[in-house]
């Protein structure tokens, strides 16, 4: 057992075990979902690599991966463009989904999402500053600015909500997130106009993974893996937090430390995802709800299932973006808005009835 797990373990382990047994879980369903999801990702990954402005059959995709021929143009396209793009879909979808799951579990806010709470807008704001003042910055510097922007926006949203009478309620957090998003988006556009960066900033706001390369993925993936591992290590504690701070504290959980570590994990995941694909919204809102519906409320299962389902949804969306109006691509953010906005309204209405 790691030192983090030891610090997070409650003092009364028997009480902890009795309490966690009461949590509604479906481990067999979770294992089946993860197995089917992984198989679906492998198949959809092949389809994603094959689909594009020039369709390529799956046999050519197989040969390009395992029997690469540098003299074949299609093999070069697959290796240099299609594979990095499809792998980026998996990384981005999984990152946004796990970030949303961790946020919803820690805050007990069913509307929590890195896009809705302004975190994505904060990352883009700092990226625009980086473009303006450090135009020759490396991708690692760009990613660091994305982390800083995500942290800045989080501080603004939670700080303004906590200072209000009644504290940071779910609805108040979403309203604060909308206000911060509007503010930072306007500032980003102002910087773009002032420094003539409209084309670069427009790319980030449109969102997508078309320009991702393997060097960027190599820098991002280690951060994402660290964040995933950290999320899994905190998953038992997040499960108890999702039942209320009083319950978690009564079972010996250090709620302040858990929320701090969870926030760092969310910033890592959201920051890296935005640095790759831009401010994609609603993945972190929709996927955790689907995962909870399928596997129950134990975050030891919700987090990995969210990662798999998020990756799968991102792959499907990217394929759809290329197929709706070929050879042109539909903005992927528009596709997620078609799914996410009705779902957001449904969850908000349900939350209002429960208040």
Asked if 122 contacts 180 with a C-beta cutoff of 8 angstroms, the reply is yes
Q: What distance in Å separates the CA atoms of residue 92 and residue 217, rounded to the nearest whole number?
A: 10
Q: Which fold has domain 3-354?
A: ABC transporter involved in vitamin B12 uptake, BtuC (1.10.3470)
Asked if 292 contacts 24 with a C-beta cutoff of 8 angstroms, the reply is no
Q: What distance in Å separates the CA atoms of residue 19 and residue 264, rounded to the nearest whole number?
A: 27
Among 40-49, 264-273, 309-318, 332-341, the range scoring the smallest mean pLDDT is 332-341
Q: What distance in Å separates the CA atoms of residue 51 and residue 26, rounded to the nearest whole number?
A: 36
CA distances from 127 to 64, 184, 195, 265, 269 (A): 35, 11, 13, 20, 16
Residue 354 has pLDDT above 70, yes or no: no
Among 11-15, 35-39, 148-152, 222-226, the range scoring the smallest mean pLDDT is 11-15
Any idea where the domains of the chain sit in the sequence?
3-354
Q: Which of 347, 326, 353, 354 is nearest to 116 (CA)?
A: 347
Residue 19 has pLDDT above 70, yes or no: no
The whole-number pLDDT of residue 105 equals 92
Q: Which of 249, 260, 299 is nearest to 20 (CA)?
A: 299
The whole-number pLDDT of residue 352 equals 62
What are the φ/ψ torsions at residue 296 (nearest 5 degrees)?
A: 100, -160
Q: Which of 272, 155, 269 is nearest to 216 (CA)?
A: 272
pLDDT digits (tens, 9 = 90+) for 83-123: 999 999 999 999 999 999 999 998 888 888 888 888 999 99
Q: Where are the beta strands (DSSP E) in 39-127?
A: none
The whole-number pLDDT of residue 326 equals 77
pLDDT digits (tens, 9 = 90+) for 188-245: 888 888 888 877 777 777 778 888 889 999 999 999 999 999 999 999 999 988 888 7
Residue 325 has pLDDT above 60, yes or no: yes
Asked if 73 contacts 260 with a C-beta cutoff of 8 angstroms, the reply is no
What percent of the chain is helix, strand and coil (3-state, nearest 5)? 75, 0, 25
pLDDT digits (tens, 9 = 90+) for 160-190: 877 766 666 777 888 888 899 999 989 988 8
Label residue 2 by pLDDT band (50, 70, 90).
Answer: very low
Is 57 in a helix, a strand, or coil?
Answer: coil
The whole-number pLDDT of residue 64 equals 86
If you average pLDDT over residues 68-77, what whole number do you get? 86
Q: What distance in Å separates the CA atoms of residue 75 and residue 326, rounded to the nearest whole number?
A: 21
What are the φ/ψ torsions at residue 137 (nearest 5 degrees)?
A: -65, 150
Tokens (6 digits) for 79: 């290796």
Tokens (6 digits) for 132: 């303006």
Cis preceding linkage at 85, omega within 30: no
The whole-number pLDDT of residue 25 equals 64
If you average pLDDT over residues 255-278, what whole number do you get? 89
CA distances from 302 to 8, 94, 216, 295, 299 (A): 19, 12, 28, 7, 4
In three-state form (DSSP H/G/I as H, E/B as E, the rest C), the secondary structure along 226-283 is HHHHHHHHCHHHHHHHCCCHHHHHHCCCCHHHHHHHHHHHHHHHHHHHHHHHCCCCCH
């Amino acid at each position: 057992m790691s030192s983090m797990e030891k610090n997070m373990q409650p003092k009364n382990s028997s009480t902890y075990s009795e309490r966690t047994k009461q949590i509604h879980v479906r481990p067999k369903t979770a294992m089946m979902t993860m197995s089917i999801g992984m198989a679906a990702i492998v198949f959809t990954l092949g389809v994603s690599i094959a689909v594009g402005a020039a369709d390529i059959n799956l046999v050519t995709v197989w040969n390009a991966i395992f029997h690469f021929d540098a003299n074949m143009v299609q093999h070069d396209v697959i290796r240099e463009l299609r594979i990095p793009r499809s792998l980026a879909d998996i990384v981005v979808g999984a990152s946004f989904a796990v970030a949303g799951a961790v946020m919803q579990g820690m805050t007990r806010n069913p509307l929590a999402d890195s896009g809705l709470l302004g975190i994505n807008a904060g990352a883009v704001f700092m990226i625009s500053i980086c473009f303006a003042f450090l135009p020759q910055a490396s991708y690692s510097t760009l990613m660091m600015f994305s982390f800083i922007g995500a942290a800045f926006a989080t501080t603004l949203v939670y700080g303004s909500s906590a200072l209000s009478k009644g504290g940071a309620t779910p609805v108040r957090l979403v309203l604060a997130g909308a206000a911060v998003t509007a503010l930072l988006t306007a500032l980003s556009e102002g910087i773009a106009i002032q420094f003539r960066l409209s084309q670069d900033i427009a790319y980030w706001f449109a969102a997508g993974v078309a320009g991702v390369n393997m060097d960027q993925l190599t820098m991002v993936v280690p951060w994402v893996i660290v964040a995933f591992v950290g999320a899994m290590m905190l998953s038992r504690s997040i499960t108890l937090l999702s039942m209320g701070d009083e319950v978690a504290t009564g079972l010996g959980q250090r709620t302040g430390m858990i929320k701090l570590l969870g926030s760092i994990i969310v910033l890592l995941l959201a920051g890296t995802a935005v640095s790759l694909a831009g401010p994609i919204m609603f993945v972190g809102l929709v996927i955790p709800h689907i995962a909870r519906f399928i596997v129950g409320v134990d975050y030891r299962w919700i987090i990995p299932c969210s990662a798999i389902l998020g990756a799968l949804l991102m792959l499907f969306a990217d394929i759809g973006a290329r197929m709706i109006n070929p050879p042109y691509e539909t903005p992927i953010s528009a596709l997620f808005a078609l799914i996410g906005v009705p779902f957001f309204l449904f969850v908000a209405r349900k939350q209002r009835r429960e208040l």
